[in-house]
Structure 1
């Protein structure tokens, strides 16, 4: 597994259809993601009958209604999650899902999910955080809509109740997020303030923001994707299609390699260009044996496999040990 952990967020983009969910697994695997993540919930435990849709949900579904009606159509049974976990294992990609209620946490525990994802909306849910911490497993925490005090309080609850290692994801929960609100530098603030690994859960359109986050030091990237942006549902329009997801993963892997080890020294690929690009001290004209080297009879030209021009003043005033032709490398 690579150092940058890429989560392909299928979420509820399966539209309640297990066949579509499996196709999302296939697309995530084909794109090269490390994990594909869904959302596990019992609608009646997640929202009340009075919970209105978010504005973006109204726009994307083109109806008002309430969250309960919308989410009920997007709910998968616990048996389907068992089937998805087995399918992911068969395909060689890690299965993850975000739980939104206690029963769903227990469902995912029964599937031996190795790491838990706390979504932005649950970061102030004390009993939920305690339940997640009680698994003792690593936790990835999305911090959308949060300030530093709220993030700190969530971390304390998780630590005090036995959670494993933590990774904080900077996040903005507008779908799609305007680029001017992405605020990628806040990811570095989280790392500095809390001393933990950080990453980025992205809801901007396109792939530029997550790639930039990797260059800034993100260790986890999460991004929504869909098989078809025109499908009915709240999240499709702000998701990547399979080709875009693959382009994002490829770009991240390239940036990951390009970041290197931080040691400033010539690389193996550029050593061969050293002589061609650098310069040496050469004869500016024909020089006779015994003649004194001066600024008038010396020059600095390529190639760079002779005496370095950094020794210019050491060479000046010395006498030629032999005859030199114009442009010939000087030796002492």
Structure 2
């Protein structure tokens, strides 16, 4: 990873099956300062049984997603049509990828089958992602890892034991190419479920790059994750939160994505290296804002200085306030008026 977090604008299904909308989103993500856009490569038959989709369509099984399926708003008859419409196929990925390349923004893909993994690598996608739904699909994960390709693995819904099972599949020599993404697979999760401190646990326990895949509203939580060491931030992205579809409401709009991208750099710069250093700019302030030993009353040449003869006032150009015990008992070598800064050269040697 570079100095700054890698910001991924997760377009996912927010293109709503519209190639031109997808391209507008890629361009907007680039303009917002995101490092990458990410889409998903899947087919209905690879992810769902027909029975399960029918249960979703009939309302037997409900999702908590705040956007839900929005089938009617999209002018579609059923969930089967929506899944097919939102599925980006190989040729469409190539079109998106080429457009992203023209604009100079990385293009990443969630791959759900080995065939899709190979396709993404052949297309030289910037990185692969294993989605949270596949944390127990060790066959797919092992295949992805065997490619030694830049990969992000989302850990939504995963127990620590399941995460450890994934890490055991990663040879030490391949770990540099894998980032574990802390994630809570709720849309959105309650704040108390987010548990950003788990980023520390992941890093300390596993010694790997960690990031955060966010489903919360707004930009505060992703920025907090950066402050806790996330090197990758993935945030769903939309041009308009009111569009129908799966994830628009929990997505960052361009204004929010711009804040995430720009403020992430400020946060990293502000974190520093943990070593206390007084900058030259601060040193210059010492003379203006620190206090010096100041006469509380007028002093005659040869007079001994007592505690009652001194005060502590700005500027800090005279004898520093923390040296006052070295001054008490000394004698002045000239007459000094009240409320004057005291200097070492004013004292008898």
Q: Into which bin does the TM-score normalised by the smaller protein fall? A: over 0.9
SS at match of 2:307: coil
Cα gap change, 1:143/1:176 in structure 2, threshold over 3 Å: closer, same or farther? same
1:234 matches 2:246: yes
**For residues 58 and 264 of structure 1, what CA distance do their matches in structure 2 show?**
46
Match of 2:347 in 1: none
Matching of residue 330 in structure 1 with residue 331 in structure 2: no
User: What are the Cα deviations for residues 150-172 of structure 1, in whole angstroms up to 9, with x where unaligned?
Assistant: 00101112338966532211110
Q: Secondary structure at the match of 1:273?
A: helix
The 8 Å contact of residues 295 and 341 in structure 2, kept in 1 or not, is answered as yes
> Quick one: which of 304, 308, 324 aligns to 2:320?
308
Q: C-alpha distance in 2, partners of 1:56/1:73?
A: 21
The residue that corresponds to 2:266 in the other structure is 254
Q: Which moved more, 1:159-168 or 1:23-32?
A: 159-168
Name 1:28's counterpart in structure 2. Answer: 29
Cα drift, residue 70 of structure 1: 3.3
- Cα deviation for residue 126 of structure 1 reads 1.6
Structure 1 residues 154 and 237: alpha-carbon distance in aligned structure 2, compared to 1, 3 A threshold: same
Instruction: Kindly tell me the number of residue pairs found equivalent between the two proteins.
Output: 332
Aligned to 1:37: 38
Choose the corresponding residue for 2:141, options 120, 129, 146.
Answer: 129
Equivalent position of 2:10 in the other structure: 9
Find out whether 1:178 has 2:190 as its counterpart: yes
> Could you tell me how far 1:321 is from its partner in structure 2?
2.0
Given that 1:170 and 1:187 are in contact with CA atoms closer than 8 Å, whether structure 2 keeps it comes out as: yes
CA contact (8 A) 1:204 1:238 kept: yes
Alpha-carbon displacement from aligned partner over 1:45-83 (angstroms, at most 9, x marks no partner): 122212244513586225699865432110122011112
| Deviation at residue 273 of structure 1 after TM alignment | 2.2
**SS of the residue 1:24 aligns to:** helix
Cα contact 2:239–2:254 (8 A) shared by 1: yes
Name the counterpart of 1:264.
276
Q: How does 1:162-177 map to 2 (within 5 A)?
A: 164-177=176-189
Deviation digits for residues 77-106 of structure 1 (CA, Å, limit 9, x no counterpart): 201111211111110111111111122112
Q: Give yes or no for the alignment of 1:145 onto 2:169.
A: no
* Aligned counterpart, 1:61: 69
Cα distance in 1, alignment partners of residues 66 and 262 from structure 2? 33
With 189-198 and 258-267 compared, the bigger mean Cα shift is at 258-267
TM-score w.r.t. the length of structure 1 is 0.93
CA distance 1:260–1:29, change in 2 (3 Å): same
Gaps of 5+ in 1: none
Q: Is the CA contact (8 Å cut-off) linking 1:287 and 1:325 kept in structure 2?
A: yes
- Root-mean-square deviation (CA, aligned residues, Å) is 2.1
CA distance in 2, matches of 1:285, 1:166: 70
Q: What is the correspondence of 1:204-219 to structure 2 with a 5 Å cutoff?
A: 204-219=216-231
CA, structure 1 residues 188+3, in 2 after alignment: closer, same or farther (shift >3 Å)? same
Paired with 2:282 and 2:174, the residues of 1 have a C-alpha distance of 50
Q: Distance in 2 between matches of 1:100 and 1:328?
A: 77
Note if contact 1:10-1:224 (Cα within 8 Å) is conserved in structure 2. Answer: yes
Please, which of 132, 137, 143 is the counterpart of residue 120 of structure 1?
A: 132
Given that 1:9 and 1:223 are in contact with CA atoms closer than 8 Å, whether structure 2 keeps it comes out as yes
Q: Does 1:95 align with 2:107?
A: yes
The match for 1:222 among 231, 234, 241 is: 234
Q: How far apart in 2 are the matches of 1:69 and 1:243?
A: 32
Q: Which runs of 5+ in 2 are unaligned?
A: 57-61, 345-349
The 3-state SS of whatever aligns with 2:308 is: coil
- Residues 1:49 and 1:270: Cα distance change in structure 2 (over 3 Å): same
